[in-house]
Amino acid sequence: MDTPFFNPKLHGRRFEDHSIPVELLEDFNLYEELLFKVAKWVYYEQHDKMKVPKGFGHGVSLKLVAVSEGSAIANIVLAATSFMVGDLDTFPIFETARNKIEEVIDRADKGEEFTDILPPEFLTYFNKIGRRLHDDESISFSNNTTRPARLSNRSRKTLVLSAPNADNVSVATSFRGKVSSFDKAEKSCTVISPQGEKVLIKFGNDYSDIFLNAFSNYESGQKVLVRGIGQFNKSDKLTSMEVDSVTFLDAMDVPSRLDEFMKYKVGWFNGEGEAFNEAGITWLSTMFDEYFQAGLLLPYTFPTPNGEIQFEWKKQDSPHDLTAYVNLQKKKTYVNYQNMKNDDDFLDLEIDLDQEKGWLQLMNLVSKYFKA
Amino acid sequence: MTLKSETLLYRQVHPSWVQNGGVSNQAFVTSQTFKPTPKDQNKLSMYDGDQYSAQESYEHYSEKLTSAGVLGVTVKEFQLEELPCESDDVTFQGHVLVDYGDHTKGTIERKSKKIRDIAIQRGWVYIP
């Protein structure tokens, strides 16, 4: 017997092709685990018992039966040979459990009081459910448009850190920097960002060679990009990471260069110069990483006194020179191309980088003159 | 004082406008170096190479401001780009202003690129 149960909707660019990455299916597995625990608790509360009847939940499971269009909507049923345990119909109990989970997520998302809905030990589940969501992604657990129960990294942090003795929340993240220390015995190292932020990285045998190599080349500035599950403390500071992957970064890596500008204060340019907005720099780093095509020359990257970022493409022994000034607030870029051997061969245009087609237009220009 | 066309003018380069890496790990200088900033009112500030050596210009500048090194462009090279140069001894003796005038944004961008290329072709005239 398969009964439609809920249809969580995944929001974010990753899901726009109406598919769900396999790594997120683990979240539904963990949700099922939580659902069963909450269902048992609901039974205890409703029947003033401390133990569920034999057979409670036996043969009951969640099943993903389809992924609908409209971003990615997972159609999930609660399947069972029978929901009856003696005279007890357990389906309403599972529905109540589902509703309570939705309510706690929704209240946390809206900044409302939520600690009176479920016992605190259940909230630690959100340290795993959704931990592979990116910062621009969320899962809506309810179809109710006014109470969608949206789980994002923000609401996850609220839920997890409200539990007693909870000091950290797990979030999929990435970190760039140089390897400043290396511990063979502990299989760990420290990666330090251009702003001086230090993160303890724990790696297995797979990655020790890469980290050791980067550590050996610390003085020459070799940087790495580490992706994995990070632990963020109550101040939202990344304190440690478990590694999924690590790669050497090119000396011209753009996000690393952009990171350097975060420490520039007002007046950085000999008394002139605006500070750089972290949200703007993060936006540009993310978009550049997403849209920059392999096989193209990386640009030189510079700050401007009026708070913009200048990308400059130039190749030795080539007449082509392309600059793009990015306004981080307006998310637009002024592009200037010049053939340095032909004054009549030039281009001036403005491109909107708040849309994918803008980035594709910029990359088309770059690919015309600056293949690596 | 009238500037001679062969006079080399010195421009101080801010450290954030030099990036290492890239081909042969050579330092790359942004074209912004030869573009007036918003406070400059379209005039680029230079040192008169007939009154200062490159090192002296760096030392004078660094008394209060930050420079990674010095690049040089002649008065004639600026003039060929329709960028007139004028002594500005009122600000300090040996100060020169290069007037980018009413050129459009795109034109200023193109001229700054050309001047930068000329300076880099000449090489750094002083690095501390």
| A217-256 pLDDT per residue, tens | 999 889 999 999 999 998 889 999 999 999 999 989 999 9
Both A205 and A261 in one domain: the answer is: no
Residues A52 and A198 in one domain: no
Q: Percentage of chain A with pLDDT > 90?
A: 72
Checking if the pLDDT of A67 tops 90, the result is no
Q: Is residue B26 part of a domain?
A: yes
pLDDT at A70 over 90: no
Residue A202, C-beta contacts closer than 8 angstroms, at least 6 positions apart: A186, A187, A188, A240, A241, A242, A243
A340 with B28: Cβ contact below 8 A = no
B2 part of a folded domain: no
- Domain contains B127: no
pLDDT for the residue numbered A71: 64
Segment A168-188 mean pLDDT: 94
A41/A144 same-domain check: yes
Per-residue confidence (pLDDT) for residue A331, from 0 to 100: 96
- For tokens 């200037």, name the residue: A336
- C-beta separation of A5 from A96 below 8 A: no
Residue B113's domain comprises: 8-122
Q: Which of A303, A321, A348 is opposite residue B16, by nearest beta carbon?
A: A303
Region A152-175: what's the mean pLDDT?
Answer: 90
The number of folded domains in chain A is 3
**Residue B125, φ and ψ in degrees, nearest 5:** -90, -20
Given this model, what pLDDT does residue B23 score? Answer: 56
- The residue from A114, A141, A166 where one domain ends is A166
pTM of the model: 0.80
Flag whether B51 is in a domain. yes
B18 vs A14 pLDDT, higher one: B18
- pLDDT of B85 over the 90 cut: yes
pLDDT at B67: 95
Could you give the number of structural domains in chain B? Answer: 1
Q: Are residues A10 and A143 in the same domain?
A: yes
Classify residue B1: in a domain, yes or no: no
Residue B47 lies in a domain: yes
pLDDT at A44: 94
In the stretch 66-125 of chain B, residues with CB closer than 8 A to chain A read: 66, 105-106, 109-110, 113-114, 117
CB contacts of A323 in chain B (<8 Å) are 31, 109, 113
**Same domain as A149, residue A293:** no
Task: Give a yes or no: residue B105 inside a domain.
Answer: yes
d(CA B16, CA A364): 28
Q: Is A219 exposed, middle or buried (0-12, 13-18, 19+ CB in 10 A)?
A: exposed
CATH number of the domain at A199, please.
Answer: 2.40.50.140
Tell me the shortest Cα–Cα distance from A302 to chain B, in angstroms: 6
**Are A161 and A202 part of one and the same domain?**
no
Collect all residues of chain B within an 8 Å Cβ-Cβ radius of residue A268: 16
User: Do residues A161 and A21 share a domain?
Assistant: yes
- Residue A233: CB partners within 8 Å, gap ≥ 6? A167, A168, A239
Within 8 A of B16 by CB-CB distance, chain A residues are: 261, 264, 268-269, 302-303
Report whether pLDDT(B84) > 90: yes
8 Å CB contact of B110 and A264: no
* Residue ending a domain, choose from A226, A248, A270: A248
Query: Whole domain around residue A322: which residue ranges?
Result: 254-369
> Which of A198, A221, A248 is the endpoint of a domain?
A248
B40: left (phi over 0), alpha (psi -120 to 50) or beta: alpha
Share the mean pLDDT of chain B: 93
Residues A237 and A260 in one domain: no
- Asked whether residue A20 falls in the same domain as residue A144, the answer is yes
Do the chains contact at B31 and A268, CB–CB below 8 Å? no
Pairwise CB contact (< 8 Å): B22 & A304? no
Size of interface A-B (CB pairs under 8 A): 68
- Confidence check: pLDDT of B1 > 70: no
Query: What's the rounded mean pLDDT across residues A190-202?
Result: 92
Confidence of residue B30 (pLDDT cuts 50, 70, 90): very high
SS3 of B116, please?
A: helix
pLDDT of residue A150: 95
pLDDT value, residue B25: 59
Please, what is the end-to-end C-alpha distance for chain B in angstroms? 29
Highest-pLDDT range among A70-84, A102-116, B24-38:
A102-116
pLDDT of residue B54: 97
| Same-domain pairing of A16 and A154 | yes
pLDDT at B24 over 80: no
What does the DSSP assignment read for A333-346?
EEEEEEETTEEEEE
